[in-house]
Chains A and B, each alone.
Chain A
Amino acid sequence: MDKDKLKSPMDRRDFLRTCGSLIAGGVTLAAGGWLASRTGGTLADGSDAEGDVFWQIDPFKCTQCGRCETDCVLPVSAVKCFHANKVCGYCDLCGGYYRPSVKDLNTAAENLMCPTGAITRKFVEEPYFEYAIDEDLCNGCGKCVKGCTSFGNGSLFLQIQQDLCQQCNECKIARVCPSDAIQRVSSKNAYKLKDHA
């Protein structure tokens, strides 16, 4: 009776299944352990990655191609214009505020660079003006950044606003960025700014 039981194909199937389970379990454990040993890694800026990582633009690599405005997964891009006041020249004739061909320095729409009117300025003292970005209006097109970089100190720059960014597994803008300016940073240095430049 017992002999018959041993010979039945069901036992062979059980045996094979147990082998399969053991192999699968072993592989999972081994792969898991091996991968856990690789959870470190270094980020593009050379720092050791710890914990979670976040997308940022390297402002010195950015060429303001305009894709940040159009390619973000959000309806209005999470990329915004940032302003490094400490780099700004506070000029009246600002390359980021006015269009290049401007005749009169007034706030008529045809004179202004920003298509959404997101840049505001405030008189400080003769002849200085303080510029600020209204982030709710900014769409990250980078027109002002381009103006400021080519005629100015480069104090305006595009950056990913971390509380808007969805932290996609693969940043859609990074995939199309022509200058590979979008990299991951650790939460300790969540912003790549120009202030300390």
Chain B
Amino acid sequence: MLGLTGSLSAFAEARFPKPDFTSGYEYPDIFHGLPYEQFWNVLDIVLLVGMMSLVVWAAYRKRSRSIILSMSVVSVLYFGFFRSGCVCSVGSIQNVVTAAVDSSYHLPLYVLLIFLLPIIFAMLFGRVFCSGVCPLGALQELVNVRNFRLSRAVSATLSMIPWVYLAFTILYAATRSQFLICRFDPFVGIFRLGGDVGMIVFGVALLVMSVFIGRPFCQFLCPYGAVLSVFSSLSWRFGKKSKPQLEITDKGCINCALCGMSCPVDAIQAPQNSKTSEERRKGVKRIILMAVLLPLLTLGGAMLVGQNSDALSLAHKDVYLYELLLQQQANPDMEEPLEVETFNAMGGNMDELKAKVDDVKSDYSFYAYLAGGLIGFVIGFKLLKLSLKRGRKTYEIDSARCTMCGKCFNYCPQNLKNKIK
């Protein structure tokens, strides 16, 4: 019964003749609701740029958390609940990757801007977007009460997850399989006030976590945050050389450590002596070891993921269907899955499907090596970075991690001086 395909149903249209009405009956006019207008997309872009600029002003000039917090409220209400969270910059990675590998894919300019603008701002000012403009970050920021600090080792390990997530996102987007980020978006269910159980449970669990730990999604999951952190750490410096981009206070740090304790994402680095007790030779040896390990890890990662590309390719619809068909052929008594039933009913050709599947699989083997290489490289680079010790005289913001929530501004006694006067 399933198999009433296009040609059949077109044929079926003559099954009953058109009625010839004698009572002067007229066909009713049917109006279908129109999609939202272009206007909202323009407003999205305007608000995106406007809010990011406001956050820059609030952080660099005013050092005010309250402006950033009010931006968060606006973002959650507008980008989150009103615009229901789609398309977001985080998810736009996938559209951009797909458009980059497949020229027939339609990438609206609006989506490209949503992807690029936060990166451009990150290059100039740091992760402004994460601060109070991204609805996912803003939602976590608004519920955050306490900051239980994870140990450095744990958070360094967990901070690798966004890169793994990003690598697999690119793999699945480049092979046109699925949009991983959209599928596991924790908060979109909350913004839409509904969704499947897994999504809601995941979202609520993360929200409860973010009451006690600052922005768990941003720190340990968000792949776009990982991209922004790279651009942020390479961003242009304003003012003095070798100074962090954003300063906690302009009145001179007194090394009181209050800001370091206030930071929800552990982005404030304490002062340390560059001359460690370690022997120079030992340090050099370790850095050389890490530098050797970097290409090895890259290669190892590429091999590990690349070798499993066939298993990974099951995420693609056609490969999955082909696998189901093979199972069906091997075991004809099995109950036909819906996919197989539809494929047969529509007169699908096994050889054509096989050709498609082979194409997909060869794509997979290429991109799986790439994704694995990326994961290995990032882990190697992190190890190398951890083994470097830089001297610092005052408390400084690590621009790669800082999500510009503005908490430290309020904790800094130097900043409070003016207000008390």
Chain A residues close to B by CB (< 8 Å):
10, 13-14, 17, 20-21, 23-25, 28, 32, 35-36, 38-43, 49, 51-54, 60-61, 63-65, 67, 73-75, 82-83, 85-87, 89-91, 124-125, 128, 130, 132, 146, 149-150, 152-154, 159, 161-170, 175, 178-180, 184, 187, 190-191, 197
Contact = CB atoms under 8 A, between A and B. Distances in A.
Interface secondary structure of A, over-half rule:
loop
B342 interface: yes
Contact of A190 (B28, B34, B96): B34
Rank and list the top 4 A-B pairs by shortest CB-CB distance, nearest first: A163-B33, A89-B16, A41-B106, A60-B6
Interface residues of B, number: 80
- Of B91, B112, B234, the most chain A CB neighbours within 10 A belong to B234
B91 A74 contact: no
B35 A165 contact: yes
A43 to B, nearest CB: 6
Contacts of B10: 60, 154, 197
B116 interface: yes
Nearest to B233: A20
A147 to B, nearest CB: 10
Contacts of A159: 32
A52 B104 CA distance: 15
A155 B310 CA distance: 43
B294 interface: no
22 contacts: A10-B242, A21-B236, A24-B231, A38-B99, A39-B107, A41-B104, A41-B107, A60-B10, A61-B5, A61-B6, A85-B28, A89-B19, A128-B19, A153-B13, A161-B32, A165-B35, A166-B86, A167-B87, A170-B183, A175-B178, A178-B342, A191-B32
A51 B242 contact: no
Interface string B92-112: 101110011001111111101
B166 to A, nearest CB: 16
B122 to A, nearest CB: 9
Interface of B: 1-6, 9-10, 12-19, 21-23, 25, 27-28, 30, 32-36, 38, 41, 84, 86-88, 91-92, 94-96, 99-100, 103-110, 112, 116, 119-120, 123, 178-179, 182-183, 188-189, 192, 194-196, 230-231, 234-237, 241-242, 317, 338-339, 341-343, 345-346
A29 B404 CA distance: 24
B106 A184 contact: yes
Nearest to A94: B16
A86 B27 contact: yes
Contacts of B88: 169
A149 B345 CA distance: 15
Contacts of B194: 73-75
Contacts of A167: 35-36, 86-87
A43 B107 contact: no
A49 B112 contact: no
Given A24-B230, A51-B38, A130-B28, A169 B182 contact: yes
B179 A14 contact: no
Contacts of A51: 38, 108, 110
Given A162-B34, A169-B182, A150 B4 contact: yes
Contacts of B338: 65, 67, 178
B86 A168 contact: yes
B156 to A, nearest CB: 21
A35 B192 CA distance: 31
A35 B107 contact: yes
A94 B368 CA distance: 53
B345 A153 contact: no
A164 B30 CA distance: 17
Contacts of A75: 194
A35 B105 CA distance: 12
A38 B116 contact: no
A67 B339 CA distance: 11
Given A35-B100, A51-B38, A124-B25, A178 B19 contact: no
Given A167-B86, A169-B94, A169-B95, A124 B23 contact: yes
- Of A24, A53, A159, A187, the most chain B CB neighbours within 10 A belong to A24
Given A128-B19, A169-B95, A178-B339, A39 B33 contact: no
A135 to B, nearest CB: 9
Given A24-B230, A39-B109, A152-B15, A187 B86 contact: no
Contact of B108 (A25, A53, A67, A161): A53
B13 A65 contact: no
A13 B107 contact: no
B247 to A, nearest CB: 17
A188 B108 CA distance: 14
Contacts of A83: 30
A169 B179 contact: yes
Contacts of B107: 35, 38-39, 41
Given A52-B108, A74-B194, A166-B84, A21 B234 contact: yes
